């Protein structure tokens, strides 16, 4: 079994009631025994702590999954609170409920990955397909809800525009795939060669680099809308970038974000942008506005609004 001193000290600062503590330790003992397959009465403290963290993560999923029905804040990630607020429900039962939540999320993630791969944007960037196909499949293969539900196991090498989700376990993969799905659907609105030429303006070696594809495509499309041109070609010119410099020079981040929002609204007039991509793009606008503001101050707006290379 585990070292009781390690387990107690790891939870000393929590507010779990004594009865909950006993139930939690019983469940931990059971899971540690399962992990060793009953062949050992001892377990490294580090692994026991890892299993305990996994248990609490699963329990927190159960609590948040029922938040609407019991009037709690479903967005909290406080696993201690998750245990305390489920008065009268055995810890073992909460754990089983949490495992059901995990399995449902895993199924949804499998389906989403398949949908993305079926409609994957055609790009020579090696990190794009390898992450969405091999990387995510590696997560499914290594993921263990019973013993390490909070772990991710993969590096998630492809960088999404909105940033790496600050989540754990299956929730990380769920959100990561959701962001990739929104980006992929948006990029599919444009010809792969147009995107390829645009990204060559970023680097001639972009296909071998872990770069985000969606951001420069979105910015090029919005930039073309702002200067009064059609967005489909992603064919910004040096003159267009000068016009964008005049547009954004001296503007606050709020004013820049407002201009981008107006352009995003107008983009839907020219392109059939999926709702999930619109919502995702809108969530990216504050970050993009900050980047544009900094680039305008440093006279490097051509590094943000890329000018495509017409010859490859």
pLDDT of residue 87: 56
Residue 210 forms part of a structural domain:
yes
- The percentage of the chain sitting over the pLDDT mark of 90, rounded to a whole number, equals 75
In a domain, residue 163? The reply is: no
Q: What is the pLDDT of residues 144-166, one digit of tens each?
A: 999 999 999 999 999 999 999 99
Note whether residue 104 is domain-resident: no
Structural domains of the chain, count? 2
Could you tell me the CA-to-CA distances from 26 to 4, 44, 165 in Å, in that order? 11, 17, 33
**Res 205: pLDDT:** 95
Last residue of a domain, one of 69, 98, 127: 98
Residue 293 lies in a domain: yes
Band the pLDDT of 36: cuts 50, 70, 90. confident
Q: CA separation (Å) from 57 to 18, 46, 78, 169?
A: 20, 17, 9, 9
Spell out the SS3 assignment of the chain. CCCHHHHHHHCCCCCCCHHHHHHHHHHHHHHHHHHCCCCCCCCCHHHHHHHHHHHHHHHHHHHHHCHHHHCCCCCCCCHHHHHHCCCCCCHHHHHHHHHHHHHHHHHHHHHHHHHHHHCCCCCCCHHHHHHHHHHHHHHHHHCCHHHHCCCCCCCCCCCCCCCCCCCCHHHHHHHHHHHHHHHHHHHCCCCHHHHHHHHHCCCCCHHHCCCCCHHHHHHHHHHHHHCCCCCCCCCCCHHHHHHHHHHHCCCCHHHHHHHHHHHHHHHHHHCCCCHHHHHHHHHHHHHHHHHHHHHHHCCCHHHCCCCCCCCC
- Domain presence at residue 87: yes
Of 41, 65, 98, which residue sits at a domain end?
98
Cα separations in angstroms, 144 against 20, 153, 157: 24, 10, 21
Whether 66 has a pLDDT exceeding 80, the answer reads: no
Are 87 and 202 part of one and the same domain? no
pLDDT tens-place string over residues 4-31: 333 333 333 343 444 478 889 899 989 9
Tell me whether residue 175 is in a domain.
Answer: no
**What value does the mean pLDDT take over residues 67-94?**
57
110 or 46, greater pLDDT? 110
Q: How many CA atoms lie within 13 A of 216 on its CB side?
A: 26
88 and 200 in a common domain: no
| CA atoms of 196 and 198, how far apart (whole Å) | 5
Q: What is the pLDDT of residues 241-282, one digit of tens each?
A: 999 999 999 999 999 999 999 999 999 999 999 999 999 999
Mean pLDDT (whole number) for 82-109? 84
Mean pLDDT estimate for the chain: 87
83, pLDDT greater than 90: no
The residue with tokens 């998630």 is 156
Residue 110 lies in a domain: no
pLDDT class for 39, splitting at 50, 70, 90? low
Q: What is the mean pLDDT of residues 95-118?
A: 97
Tell me, yes or no, whether 237 lies in a domain: yes
Structural domain including 203 reads 189-312
Using the 3D structure, point to which of 98, 116, 141 is the last residue of a domain. Answer: 98
């Amino acid at each position: 079994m585990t070292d009781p001193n390690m387990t107690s000290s790891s939870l000393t600062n929590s507010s779990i009631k004594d009865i909950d503590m006993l139930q939690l330790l019983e469940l931990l003992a059971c899971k540690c025994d399962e992990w060793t397959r009953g062949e050992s009465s001892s377990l490294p403290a580090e692994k026991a702590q890892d299993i305990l963290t996994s248990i609490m993560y699963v329990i927190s999923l159960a609590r948040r999954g029922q938040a609407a029905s019991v009037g709690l804040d479903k967005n909290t990630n406080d696993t201690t609170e998750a245990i305390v607020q489920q008065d009268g429900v055995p810890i073992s039962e909460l754990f089983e409920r949490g495992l059901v939540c995990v399995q449902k999320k895993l199924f949804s993630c499998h389906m989403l990955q398949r949908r993305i791969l079926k409609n994957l944007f055609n790009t020579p960037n090696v990190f794009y397909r390898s992450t969405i196909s091999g990387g995510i499949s590696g997560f499914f293969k290594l993921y263990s809800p019973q013993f390490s539900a909070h772990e991710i196991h993969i590096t998630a090498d492809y960088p999404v525009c909105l940033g790496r989700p600050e989540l754990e376990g299956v929730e990380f993969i769920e959100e990561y795939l959701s962001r990739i799905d929104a980006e992929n659907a948006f990029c599919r609105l444009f010809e792969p060669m147009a995107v390829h030429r645009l990204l060559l303006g970023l680097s001639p070696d972009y296909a071998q680099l872990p770069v985000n594809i969606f951001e420069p495509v979105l910015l090029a499309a919005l930039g073309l809308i702002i200067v009064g041109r059609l967005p489909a070609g992603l064919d910004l010119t040096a003159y267009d970038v000068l016009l964008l410099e005049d547009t954004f020079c001296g503007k606050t981040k709020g004013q820049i974000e407002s201009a981008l929002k107006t352009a995003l609204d107008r983009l839907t007039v020219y392109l059939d942008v999926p709702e999930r991509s619109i919502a995702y793009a809108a969530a990216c606008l504050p970050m993009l506005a900050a980047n544009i503001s900094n680039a305008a101050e440093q006279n490097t707006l051509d590094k943000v609004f890329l000018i495509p290379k017409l010859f490859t």
